Structure 1
Amino acid sequence: MSHNHGHGSDLNAPPRPELARILIGVVAALAVATCLAMIALWPSGSDVPHDTDPYSGEGVSTVKATVTSVEAFDCGSTGDIGIDSMPTVDGDCANVTATVDDGEIAEFVLDPTRHVAAAMDEGDEVTLVKLQPQGQDATYEFRDYQRGFPLLALALAFAVLVALVGRLRGALALVGIVVTLLALMKFVLPGMLTGESPVLVAVVGSTAIMIAVLYLAHGISIRTTSALFGTLFGIAFTAVVGLIGTDWSHLTGLSSEDDSLLVATAPQLYMPGIVAASMVIAGLGVLNDVTVTQASAVWEMRALQPLASKWDVFRSAMRIGRDHIASSVYTLVFAYAGSAMTVMLLITAYQRGLVDVLTSEEIAQEVVRTLVGAIGLVLAVPVTTLFAVWLAPPPSEDPNLGRRVRRDATA
């Protein structure tokens, strides 16, 4: 937020360096407060659940193997309703032989669901569960495919493209992703598991993430600071409305088998709070996009229209913001619809009514999450625009204002 100032311009008037110093103090205070909150909420290693992995017990381990043969056989699965009133898959089972990395031969059976969905073939690299009680021979079960190399290749391709196209800003954005992952894995997720308020942990973690990634990706400037203020408003508002919406809609956070397993693993968790916290985390990306765009729009308009009043700049920026709101809301809806696609397909296959579908716990969570995120997003646009117009240089007749405004935005 440093600035180079000359003479004879409203942009270079004393309030600009004064404003820069004030904003530095405000952001520094926010950063210090966030750090203190993180220290107070930092999860103790002894409080985070350990040794709860079902594949880490005595006589149980996971091993890597390569499939050498797959032989289908009829195991009597007809697709009829089973004894537990659940539908079964019509198809064959499969006897699979694989070579474990240590040279042992592993044999296991795929049920029709696994056989049909996995479409396993010779040469596939898999992960198996090895069961070997003391004094007994080892048996094996299929756990999953090995996906390390494909994921690594895609991540490297993404990183290279971002760095090549985005150059320095792209490289710094990648650093921001690393910061985000560290904050989530070291603070947010462990903090929730220790029983702290999930929403409070999410808000503090999100604030720390946004302070770091905004200045990393977009540079230290008054423009970035205005985007930060709008983003922090969006985070706080989403947290409050998320709590209200979760309680009002009676969302329990127990909509799937994984949710029940999580509660059994960490009984101190408050699952409705986890639902509300997920609304804060899920909307960060789109919220950041909207606030940065609005701040940039205000600065660019000030550069192009040096004589325009603050009100005129606000109205012009809001016209851009309205278009951005429309596209961003669709982004949220499609993202959440994609994440709940399996549940939506299953409910559709059951031919349940639309109202019944929308009010079920599985879909209601996504509906509330979408609506809460959209409300926070919509309100963040005018709030960010107001901050940006307030902090942007005032109207001026200086012919060099445009160049100086752009420098002001990146200084």
Structure 2
Amino acid sequence: MGAGHSHTGHGGIDPTPRALAARRKANWILAAVLVPLTLLTVVAMVLLWPSGSKDGLKLSSPYAAAPGVSFDTGTIQRVVVGPCMDGAAQADGQAAPAPEQAPQAGQAPPAPGAGQGSQCTFAYTDPDKGGNPVKVVINPDVAKSHGVKAGDGIRYLNLSQTQGAAAQGTPSYVFVDFVRTLPIILLAVLYAVVVIAVARWRGLRALIGLLGAYAVLVSFMLPGLVEGKPPLLLALVGSTVIMIGVLYFAHGFTARTSTALLGTMFGLGITAVLAAWATDAANLAGVGSHDAATLANVSDHISISGIILCGLIISGLGVLNDVTITQSSAVWELWELAPGTSRRKLFASAMRIGRDHIASTVYTIAFAYAGAALPVLIIVMLYERPLGDALTSAELSEEVIRTLVGSIGLVLAIPVTTLIAVLVVKATGLRGAALPADDGGSVHDGAAADHASDGGTGAAPDGDGSGPAPESRRGRRAELRR
């Protein structure tokens, strides 16, 4: 029997026609489910595709400058504190204030209202476009919470060309924001380098897939919400397109990836159903949010509750993708280490990994939302409201429901993904495939093959020829090398 079969170039065992047929059957089953779903998603995306028209929108950009006004950038040279009216009288090229106006090193700036009149913070700034330094008045909240210092890049409103600005007591240059281009670019480059260095080509494909996901979000989902498309369908279709693209692009067209995609779609469906129910049952209307109030006045087609519903679904995409692809990969790795494992035992082993993943992922979601909502949490704490009232308030209820909905969807996706992966891997796994029959017509598993390759007879230890051959040391080493 030992010479009756051949080995592949990678050290694996050639599958029998029966094993190949099982593999083809499993792949056809996956294709029969995923191909119609993909086609349906593409058709729905075409039907829901927004026109891109912005007719009827009443929102004007806050960065659209009026005639004679411009947004300029520059670098702060030094910071001084002085009477607020000095900002209106200061013009380009004027002399700097007397040294006594500038705070000494280690000395706190004068408190607002100290001395004659209110005190303001001014930043003498070199414009990036060239010219004399200008005196930019810094917003009180920025000066108090973060402050500015020499070397900071800022963006400011240039009112110097507006007639009558100084005469009306309006500062000629007003702080708008910091310039953050360089640190963000550095972090983005570092992130890309780390991902590619660790994950190599798969990491590069994941980054490209991330860009594609944002393209779907910006070109399809956001304009669709503005035009009043059904938010539930919009979120489901857009999320499914994103997951199909990023999973196959990053991990390849394999049964392992298809299994993870099926689990992801199941989790998306559960999340969508729960999000639709929770948005209506909890009356999530975005009340109290400045951004929601702004959008509500922009167009009659925009639904704030619909935006919240769409956000509940999108927010769990990344974590859902993480748990499904990891769980699918875990099943494959466990199977390759022990190809003779039964379905029940393989499922139980993979679920032990899944339970650990569930615990850590729930923490990830909860802490991520808590970190994003820290200012709101601090305000609620200072109000000294009862915990139940705080968690169900308009300020926190959306974050609480987002955490619960996303967690339920990903937790239920883990056992479903594991079950699908176990069924598929038992049908497609080549390393556990049956070997060609020997002279007696019996079929042996991978352990028998290892025994045969050592020169054994292939007989079972009890001599009846029906049980698996004992696993040899060489066979174990060969299995580990695979």
TM-score (structure 1 length as normaliser) = 0.87
Q: Partner letter of residue 210 of structure 2?
A: I
Q: Choose 147-156 or 185-194, whichever is displaced more.
A: 185-194
Q: Partner letter of residue 14 of structure 1?
A: A
Asked if 2 retains the 8 angstrom alpha-carbon contact of 1:55 and 1:129, the reply is no
Q: Choose 163-172 or 136-145, whichever is displaced more.
A: 136-145
Q: Partner letter of residue 30 of structure 1?
A: L
CA displacement 1:117-136 (0-9 Å, x = unmatched) = 23111221111123478655
Give 1:64's aligned residue. Answer: 73
Larger Rg computed on CA atoms? 2
CA displacement 1:204-242 (0-9 Å, x = unmatched) = 111111001111222211011010000011111111101
The answer to whether 1:186 aligns with 2:186 is: no
372, 384, 389: which one pairs with 1:356?
Answer: 389
Residue 9 of structure 1 and its aligned partner are, at CA, apart by 7.0
Give me the whole-angstrom Cα distance separating, in 1, the residues matched to 2:356 and 2:40. 35
- For 1:205-284, what aligned pairs fall within 5 Å after superposition? 205-284=238-317
Give 1:94's aligned residue. Answer: 121
Residue 254 of structure 1 and its aligned partner are, at CA, apart by 2.8
Q: Choose 68-77 or 314-323, whichever is displaced more.
A: 68-77
Residue 390 of structure 1 and its aligned partner are, at CA, apart by 1.8
The total of aligned residue pairs comes to 392
133, 152, 164: which one pairs with 1:124?
Answer: 152
Q: Partner letter of residue 124 of structure 2?
A: T
Q: Partner letter of residue 351 of structure 1?
A: E
Residue 266 of structure 1 and its aligned partner are, at CA, apart by 3.8
Q: Partner letter of residue 310 of structure 2?
A: A
Residue 364 of structure 1 and its aligned partner are, at CA, apart by 0.8
Give me the whole-angstrom Cα distance separating, in 1, the residues matched to 2:256 and 2:305. 36
Residue 328 of structure 1 and its aligned partner are, at CA, apart by 0.5
Give me the whole-angstrom Cα distance separating, in 2, the residues matched to 1:116 and 1:7. 72
Higher helix fraction (1 or 2): 1
Q: Partner letter of residue 73 of structure 2?
A: K
Residue 15 of structure 1 and its aligned partner are, at CA, apart by 2.5
CA displacement 1:73-112 (0-9 Å, x = unmatched) = 366747xxxxxxxxxxxx9531233233233554332243
The answer to whether 1:39 aligns with 2:46 is: yes
Cα 1:356–1:391 change in 2 (3 A) is same
Asked if 2 retains the 8 angstrom alpha-carbon contact of 1:128 and 1:143, the reply is yes
Asked if 1 retains the 8 angstrom alpha-carbon contact of 2:270 and 2:409, the reply is yes
Give 1:53's aligned residue. Answer: 61
327, 344, 347: which one pairs with 1:311?
Answer: 344
Residue 361 of structure 1 and its aligned partner are, at CA, apart by 0.9
Q: Partner letter of residue 346 of structure 2?
A: V
Residue 349 of structure 1 and its aligned partner are, at CA, apart by 2.2
Q: Partner letter of residue 108 of structure 1?
A: V
Q: Choose 211-220 or 105-114, whichever is displaced more.
A: 105-114
Q: Partner letter of residue 155 of structure 1?
A: A
Higher strand fraction (1 or 2): 1
Asked if 2 retains the 8 angstrom alpha-carbon contact of 1:77 and 1:112, the reply is no
The answer to whether 1:365 aligns with 2:393 is: no
Q: Secondary structure at the match of 2:396?
A: helix
CA displacement 1:293-318 (0-9 Å, x = unmatched) = 11112112222232222122112211
Contiguous gaps of at least 5 residues in structure 2: 1-11, 85-110, 167-171, 434-444, 451-475
TM-score (structure 2 length as normaliser) = 0.75
Q: Choose 204-213 or 250-259, whichever is displaced more.
A: 250-259
Residue 140 of structure 1 and its aligned partner are, at CA, apart by 2.8
Give me the whole-angstrom Cα distance separating, in 1, the residues matched to 2:46 and 2:176. 38
Q: Partner letter of residue 71 of structure 2?
A: T
Give me the whole-angstrom Cα distance separating, in 2, the residues matched to 1:244 and 1:259. 20
Cα 1:292–1:92 change in 2 (3 A) is farther
Asked if 1 retains the 8 angstrom alpha-carbon contact of 2:58 and 2:299, the reply is no
Asked if 2 retains the 8 angstrom alpha-carbon contact of 1:129 and 1:140, the reply is yes
Q: Secondary structure at the match of 2:79?
A: strand
Give 1:398's aligned residue. Answer: 446
Give 1:23's aligned residue. Answer: 30
Residue 65 of structure 1 and its aligned partner are, at CA, apart by 1.9
Give 2:140's aligned residue. Answer: 112
Give me the whole-angstrom Cα distance separating, in 1, the residues matched to 2:381 and 2:119. 26
CA displacement 1:321-358 (0-9 Å, x = unmatched) = 11111111011100110111111012212322212211
Asked if 1 retains the 8 angstrom alpha-carbon contact of 2:232 and 2:310, the reply is yes
Residue 173 of structure 1 and its aligned partner are, at CA, apart by 1.0
Percentage of pairs with the same residue: 42
Q: Partner letter of residue 64 of structure 1?
A: T
The answer to whether 1:344 aligns with 2:372 is: no
Asked if 1 retains the 8 angstrom alpha-carbon contact of 2:75 and 2:126, the reply is yes
Cα 1:319–1:288 change in 2 (3 A) is same
Q: Partner letter of residue 75 of structure 2?
A: T
Give me the whole-angstrom Cα distance separating, in 2, the residues matched to 1:196 and 1:121. 47
Asked if 2 retains the 8 angstrom alpha-carbon contact of 1:92 and 1:111, the reply is no
Q: Choose 395-404 or 212-221, whichever is displaced more.
A: 395-404
CA displacement 1:50-77 (0-9 Å, x = unmatched) = 8620221532442212223321236674
